[in-house]
């Protein structure tokens, strides 16, 4: 199947109402700044679709993987099986997963989001479980010895202390998801990937659509980094 | 600050781990009166930490019971019980993601104190442990090891618990700071008078910190439960004797001060005094050498035979009056001074430097005959030390 837009869908006058140089550039599939300026609004909707797919998938993926991480922390014997399952999800080729889900969930956002969520699981789960495991046992001992319940110890001590590791996982998951979401058009969910694919030989198009994807990944990364600094002033406290 | 303390009783306490034949703690019975420090000491694997951790139910009791002010610790939920028992461990376990103030406020907040009361309490404790108020906003990583240790103790005291559990609290501190922290702690305890269970593997620390010492042997059996002086004088069996060490007599001397023993009466004489009178006094003195003193009664030196040869005492010394010791000196240190100067006698001086008597090796040896119950404990020594300049 091909997601190429048939020539008939190209708007009237797309190739005609421009000055000769520009026309020439576009015809050769080159990098044409003036074309980009004029056509930038074409990318707004796909960009926000991309943001939507990434954001929803990360949010759902984080909630599930975080819960699984806590579960594995409580029931140590579950760590092995959960790591195995999330690893398998992670190793399925992404295009194959999008296509495999199509008969079950049809074309559209749902299919894309299910697949994207699946890919976040290993990274976030592993970091949550590792982060919690690395909290020094004497700190947990002191916490329970002072009369914090196991749940209070988890939420007030273990999770905050595991936060660097957890957010590191979230950052990797965010960049991975932005990248994988460019393949979401295989599930008919659009996004920047659909734009890239529509005119993959037209440099201006690829640069703008691809560039927006890269910018989104960078912006998400900075956002998590900012969150990390805001949540963890103690990490910056150096020995006096 | 209130200074409530609870009595503690371990009754036939047993801990047996599944799959092991030997119990970790075997029918351990102890009674700790309110306000006393009970040290659990013994070689590694003797169950001392296990026994301590059963008190706040960090380890569940297999058999027997623990009574806190007469009621069983198993009647309460573990979390609720632990909020009323201070807990200090060797690694301290401060929360690295919380400020010093928040660390100290942990238990008061769990107890639901209002904000102002929590804040006042944090200020009070920072002052008690001698940390600046500005430390409140610092994080544990910004403090030295000794400061972190003090914060650990402050955090354990925050809820004003009637009982404190301390598991090798000074074990990870270098020797110089350890001694300072021990002394600080003894001063604090002299003021607060909490009931304390203190675990250590170091017999010297046990002797220094404890009102009572429980020596445990492998398998969690109680070998002896006694005051430091009693333990040092009458070890119950070869194991305890070996554990307290071959220098136990010296260790006992560390528990007494010069003022606590019967000093020898020396013969003091002044320059120009009649030698006949001096000789008369020498006849019924403990020591055959007269000590020449100045007009203020301060020692000049031991008089030689030639100094006594004439009618009048002449300033002719066989040796200077060294060393001198003070009434407040610890006997072991005084003994060490005598030995270092290769002499058997030293004048004992009061605050003004006047001779009050003579300390001799024989008098020190005699001090070991004092009954254990008459030997003061370290907390009393510390209280005396802090009251005198």
Give me the tens of pLDDT residue by residue for chain B, a chain 389 residues long.
344 889 999 999 999 999 888 899 999 999 999 999 999 999 988 999 999 999 999 999 999 999 999 999 999 999 999 999 999 999 899 999 999 999 999 999 999 999 999 999 999 999 999 899 999 999 999 999 889 999 999 999 999 999 999 999 998 888 888 888 899 899 999 999 999 999 999 999 999 999 999 999 998 999 999 999 899 988 999 999 999 988 888 888 888 888 888 888 889 999 888 888 888 888 888 888 899 999 888 999 999 888 888 888 888 888 888 889 998 888 989 999 999 988 889 999 988 889 999 998 888 888 877 666 666 666 566 665 555 44
Sign of CA dihedral A86, A90, A91, A92: positive
Query: Which residues on A lie below 8 Å from B84 (Cβ)?
Result: 147
Contacts of B10 (CB under 8 A, 6+ apart): B28, B29, B30, B31, B51, B55, B64, B66
Under DSSP, is residue B173 helix (H, G, I), strand (E, B) or coil?
A: coil
**Do B96 and B116 share a domain, yes or no?**
yes
Instruction: Report the residue of chain B nearest A136, measured CA to CA.
Output: B93
In angstroms, the separation between the Cα of residue A170 and the nearest Cα of chain B is 20
Same domain, B216 and B322: no
Question: Pairing state of beta strands B37-41 and B195-200?
Answer: parallel
A41 touches chain B (CB under 8 A): no
CB B24 within 8 Å of CB B17:
yes
Please count the structural domains in chain B: 2
For residue B339, being part of any structural domain is answered with: yes
Q: Cα angle at B88 between B52 and B191, to 5 degrees?
A: 100
Assess whether B265 and B298 both reside in one domain: yes
B374 in a domain, yes or no? no
Look at residue B371 in the predicted model and tell me its pLDDT. Answer: 66
* Full DSSP string of B182-222: HHHHHHHHHHH--EEEEEES-HHHHHHH-SEEEEEETTTEE
Confidence of residue A3 (pLDDT cuts 50, 70, 90): very low
Q: Which residues of chain B neighbour A139 with C-beta distances below 8 Å?
A: 93-96
Chain A CB within 8 Å of residue B95 CB = yes
Q: Which residues of A touch B56 (CB under 8 A)?
A: 145
Put simply, the answer to whether A141 touches B58 (Cβ < 8 Å) is yes
Q: Do B197 and B177 share a structural domain?
A: yes
Which neighbouring-strand residues pair with B195? Answer: B163
Q: Nearest-CA residue of chain B relative to A157?
A: B95
Q: What is the CA radius of gyration of chain A?
A: 23
Asked if the bond preceding B323 is cis, omega within 30° of 0, the reply is: yes
Q: Which domain holds residue A93?
A: 42-231
Closest CA in chain A for residue B156: A146
Q: Are B160 and B111 in contact (CB under 8 A)?
A: no
Look at residue B377 and tell me if it is in a domain: no
Query: How many separate domains does chain A show?
Result: 1
Q: Which of B207, B234, B253 is the last residue of a domain?
A: B253
Considering the domain architecture, whether residues B162 and B54 belong to the same structural domain is answered as yes
Instruction: Give yes or no for B103 touching A (CB within 8 A).
Output: no
Q: How far apart are CA A231 and CA A212, in angstroms?
A: 28
Partner residue opposite B79 with nearest CB, options A141, A149, A233 = A149
Q: Is B79 within 8 Å of A147 when comparing Cβ atoms?
A: yes
| CATH number for the domain harbouring residue A219 | 1.10.3720.10
Q: Establish if A36 belongs to a structural domain.
A: no
**Has residue A57 been placed in a domain?**
yes
* Residue B2, in any domain of the structure: no
Does a structural domain hold residue A97? Answer: yes
Beta bridge partners of B164: B86, B196
Q: How many CA atoms lie within 13 A of A228 on its CB side?
A: 18
Interval B161-201: pLDDT, tens: 999 999 999 988 888 888 888 998 999 999 999 999 999 99
Same domain flag for B246 and B264: no
Confidence at residue B379, expressed as pLDDT on a 0 to 100 scale: 59
A25 within some domain: no
CATH at B329: 3.10.580.10
Q: Quick check: is A59 in a domain?
A: yes
Q: Is B98 on the interface with A (CB under 8 A)?
A: yes
- CA-closest candidate to residue B97, choices A159, A171, A165: A159
Do the domain assignments include residue B3? no
Q: Rounded to an integer, what distance in angstroms lies between the CA atom of residue A24 and that of residue B79? A: 78
Residues B299 and B341 in one domain: yes
Size of interface A-B (CB pairs under 8 A): 78
Residue B15 phi, psi (nearest 5): -125, 120
Q: Are residues B170 and B231 in the same domain?
A: yes
Nearest to A145 among B87, B110, B141 (CB): B87
Q: Which of B72, B65, B49 is nearest to B14 (CA)?
A: B65
Evaluate whether A20 touches A32 at the Cβ level (below 8 Å).
no
Same domain membership, residue B234 and residue B265? no
pTM for the model stands at: 0.79
Q: Please name the member of B97, B110, B142 whose beta carbon is closest to the beta carbon of A160.
A: B97
Mutate to test the interface with A, among B94, B96, B103, B155 (most CBs of A within 10 A): B96
- Per the structure, the complete domain to which residue B241 belongs is given by 8-253
Chain A residues whose beta carbon lies within 8 Å of the beta carbon of residue B89: 138, 141-142, 145
Find which of A139, A145, A167 to mutate to test the B interface (most B CBs within 10 Å of its CB): A145
Residue-wise pLDDT tens digits, B22-67: 899 999 999 999 999 999 999 988 999 999 999 999 999 999 999 9
Chain A residues with CB under 8 Å of B143 CB are 240
**A87: which DSSP letter?**
H
Tell whether A164 lies on the interface with B, counting CB pairs under 8 A. no
Whether chain A has a CB inside 8 Å of the CB on B143: the answer is yes
DSSP β-bridge partners for residue B192: none
Cβ–Cβ contacts within 10 Å for residue A64, how many? 17
| B229 plus B299 within the same structural domain | no
Flag whether B1 is in a domain.
no
């Amino acid at each position: 199947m091909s997601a190429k837009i048939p020539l008939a869908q190209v708007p009237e006058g797309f190739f005609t109402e421009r000055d000769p140089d520009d026309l020439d550039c576009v015809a050769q599939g080159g990098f044409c700044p003036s074309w980009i300026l004029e056509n930038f609004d074409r990318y707004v909707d796909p960009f926000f679709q991309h943001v939507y797919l990434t954001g929803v998938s990360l949010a759902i993926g984080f909630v599930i993987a975080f819960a699984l991480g806590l579960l594995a922390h409580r029931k140590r014997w579950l760590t092995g099986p959960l790591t195995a399952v999330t690893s398998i999800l992670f190793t399925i080729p992404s295009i194959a997963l999008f296509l495999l889900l199509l008969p079950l969930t049809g074309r559209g956002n749902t299919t894309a989001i299910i697949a994207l969520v699946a890919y976040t699981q290993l990274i976030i789960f592993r970091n949550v479980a590792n982060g919690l495991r690395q909290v020094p046992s004497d700190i947990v001992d002191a916490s329970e010895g002072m009369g914090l319940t196991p749940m209070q110890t988890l939420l007030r001590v273990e999770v905050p202390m595991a936060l660097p590791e957890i957010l590191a996982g979230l950052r990797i998951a965010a960049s991975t998801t932005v990248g994988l979401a460019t393949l979401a058009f295989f599930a008919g969910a659009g996004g920047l990937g659909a734009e890239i694919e529509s005119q993959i030989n037209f440099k201006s198009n690829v640069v703008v659509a691809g560039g927006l994807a890269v910018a989104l990944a960078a912006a998400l990364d900075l956002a998590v980094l900012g969150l990390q600094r805001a949540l963890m002033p103690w990490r910056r406290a150096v020995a006096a | 600050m209130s200074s409530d303390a609870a009595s503690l009783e371990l009754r036939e306490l047993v801990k047996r781990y599944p799959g092991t034949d030997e119990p970790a703690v075997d029918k351990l019975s102890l009674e700790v009166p309110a306000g006393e420090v009970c040290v659990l000491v013994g070689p590694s694997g003797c169950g001392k930490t296990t026994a301590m951790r059963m008190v706040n139910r960090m380890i569940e009791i297999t058999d027997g019971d623990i009574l806190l002010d007469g009621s069983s610790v198993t009647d309460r939920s573990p979390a609720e019980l632990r909020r009323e028992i201070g807990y200090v461990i060797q690694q301290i376990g401060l929360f690295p993601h919380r400020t010093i103030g928040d660390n100290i406020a942990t238990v008061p907040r769990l107890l639901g104190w209002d904000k102002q009361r929590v804040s006042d309490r944090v200020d009070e404790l920072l002052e008690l442990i001698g940390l600046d108020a500005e430390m409140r906003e610092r994080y544990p990583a910004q403090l030295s090891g000794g400061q972190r240790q003090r914060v650990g103790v402050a955090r354990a005291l925050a809820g004003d618990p009637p009982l404190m559990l301390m598991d090798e609290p000074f074990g990870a501190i270098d020797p110089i700071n350890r001694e300072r922290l021990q002394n600080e702690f003894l001063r604090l305890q002299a003021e607060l008078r909490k009931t304390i269970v203190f675990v250590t593997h170091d017999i010297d620390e046990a002797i220094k910190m404890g009102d009572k010492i429980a020596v445990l042997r492998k398998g969690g059996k109680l070998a002896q439960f006694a005051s430091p002086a009693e333990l040092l004088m009458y070890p119950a069996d070869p194991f305890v004797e070996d554990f307290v060490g071959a220098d136990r007599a010296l260790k006992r001397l560390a528990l007494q001060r010069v003022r606590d023993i019967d000093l020898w009466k020396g013969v003091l004489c002044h320059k120009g005094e009649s030698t006949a009178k001096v000789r008369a006094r020498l006849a019924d003195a403990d020591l055959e050498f007269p000590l020449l003193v100045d007009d203020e009664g301060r020692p000049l030196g031991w008089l030689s035979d030639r100094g006594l040869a004439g009618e009048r005492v002449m300033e002719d010394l066989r040796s200077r009056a060294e060393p001198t010791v003070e009434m407040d000196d610890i006997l072991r240190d005084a003994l060490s001074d005598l030995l270092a100067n290769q002499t058997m006698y030293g004048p004992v001086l009061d605050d003004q430097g006047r001779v009050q008597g003579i300390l001799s090796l024989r008098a020190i040896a005699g001090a070991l005959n004092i009954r254990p119950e008459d030997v003061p404990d370290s907390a009393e020594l510390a209280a005396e030390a802090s009251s005198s300049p």
